[in-house]
Amino acid sequence: MRDLIAGERAPAAGTTTFVLAGGAPPPMALVALGADRRVAADFAPIDSITRELRSGVGFEEATRLRIDPAALPAGVDRLLLIAFDPANRPIDTRLTIASDTLRFAVDPGGQAAAAVILIELYRHQGGWRIAANGQGFAVGLSAIAAAYGLDRAWCDRLNPRLQDDTPDRGDRSGQSSGSGIAIEAHHILTNAHVVEDVRTISVHVGGRTLAAEMVFADPRNDLALLRVDTPLMQIAQFRSQVGLHLGEDVVALGFPLQGLLGTGPQASAGNIAALCGIGNDSSVFQFTAPIASGNSGGPILDMAGHLIGLVSSSLNLDRIRRSGASAENINFGIKGAMILSFLDSHGLEPQMAHDATPIGRTAVVARTRSAIARIACQC
């Protein structure tokens, strides 16, 4: 028996039976995708609740799935095996998915995930391969459905709670806002905390207001990816050299204090003050460009106009002042390397820039202005 780790791949050996084990294994679903990473038109999803059987593929029991890749339609390029909680609550048990020769264990509880992609099977050079995944989704099947173009009715059937128009969202109510940056024709990057526990999301970008859906979130690293159906006119480019330099000049863009400072983007300049965050957190860096509430999720750019980070948070200055110390503009951004890893894990390849010639602050803002998104949420 070979144990896989997340991201590891292995050849698929013909017809295979996968068995899910855990304290109380949740239901599973199998979703087929085409070469475009959207739901395959000729193979609707199946699940272990209804246990629909098809030629060569089907759930034989609640925890057993049999797959014969040779029997799949030609339009199926990839299969996602998903575990999910029907009530859309975090899965709190360690799960193990295993065949006769391979085994992969994942702990969705560590991600507060209501759904998790266990493994993927995909076509490769005339055959099939298996990839251990383990990506969790805090908002459950609806995020997976939005990411891959599945019918919402499929989610409603498996997650009846999602049909409730007034779900319990704790004490959060009303509206919230933030910033984002277009990084692909249909995708906008922002902070996970900007779109956490919201009912609807709209983005104003490039002079247009569009409906958006959150398709992926990484609460631990405070990253979220939104999808819009309408193609975006301008997208930001990432700096190809992901390393940062202490003292280098940066520009932060976003929509702080919406409703007070106006509806247009605001720009502030500063420099990189430290290459890590509180407690030597290497996933973030410290910068001095002034920011305020609403800047969260906005881009941090170098002087060539390329994306090097995402605004994340500020140190609580009131608390510092009460302690008798003095500090200003202690802000933190998520490093570009972390963002690129997040995007890569979801199959996105953002544009990379190779010309590092400085163009000045005014040109930096002009180059990126139409890619900045003002995000408005209904909670």
The string of pLDDT tens digits covering residues 320-351 is 444 444 445 688 999 999 999 899 888 888 99
The Cβ of residue 113 has, within 10 Å, a number of other Cβ atoms equal to 27
Q: Is 303 helix (H, G, I), strand (E, B) or coil?
A: coil
- CA 179 vs. chain centroid, Å, equals 16
Condensed to tens digits (0 to 9), the pLDDT of residues 111-160 reads 667 888 999 999 998 899 999 988 877 667 877 776 677 777 777 788 76
The CATH number of whichever domain residue 118 belongs to comes to 2.60.60.30
Q: Which one, of 186, 219, 194, lies nearest residue 347 by Cα? A: 186
Q: Whole-model pTM?
A: 0.56
Question: What pLDDT is stored for residue 277 in this prediction?
Answer: 83
Last residue within a domain, chosen from 95, 129, 163? 163
Based on the domain organization, do 237 and 373 belong to the same domain? yes
Query: Cβ distance 32 to 150 under 8 Å?
Result: no
Do 176 and 155 lie in one domain? The reply is no
Residues 212 and 243 in one domain: yes
Instruction: Say what the pLDDT of residue 174 is.
Output: 66
- Locus of tokens 């294994």: 25
- Range name among 161-175, 216-230, 278-292 with the lowest pLDDT average: 161-175
The token pair at 260 is: 């007070």
Q: Quote the DSSP letter at residue 25.
A: P
Question: Looking at residue 241, which CATH number applies to its domain?
Answer: 2.40.10.120
Gyration radius of the chain over CA positions: 22
| Angle 276-279-284 from CA coordinates, rounded to 5° | 30
Count the neighbouring beta carbons within 10 Å of the beta carbon of residue 378.
12
Give Cβ neighbours of residue 203 (< 8 Å, ≥ 6 apart): 180, 188, 209, 210, 212, 226, 228, 373, 374, 375, 376
Question: Mean pLDDT, the chain, as a whole number?
Answer: 85
**So what's the pLDDT on residue 101?**
92
Interatomic CA distance for residues 188 and 205, integer angstroms = 10
* Cβ(366)–Cβ(372) below 8 Å: no
Pair (158, 201) in one structural domain: no
Residues 279-291: pLDDT tens digits?
678 889 999 999 8
| Parent domain of 107 | 2-163
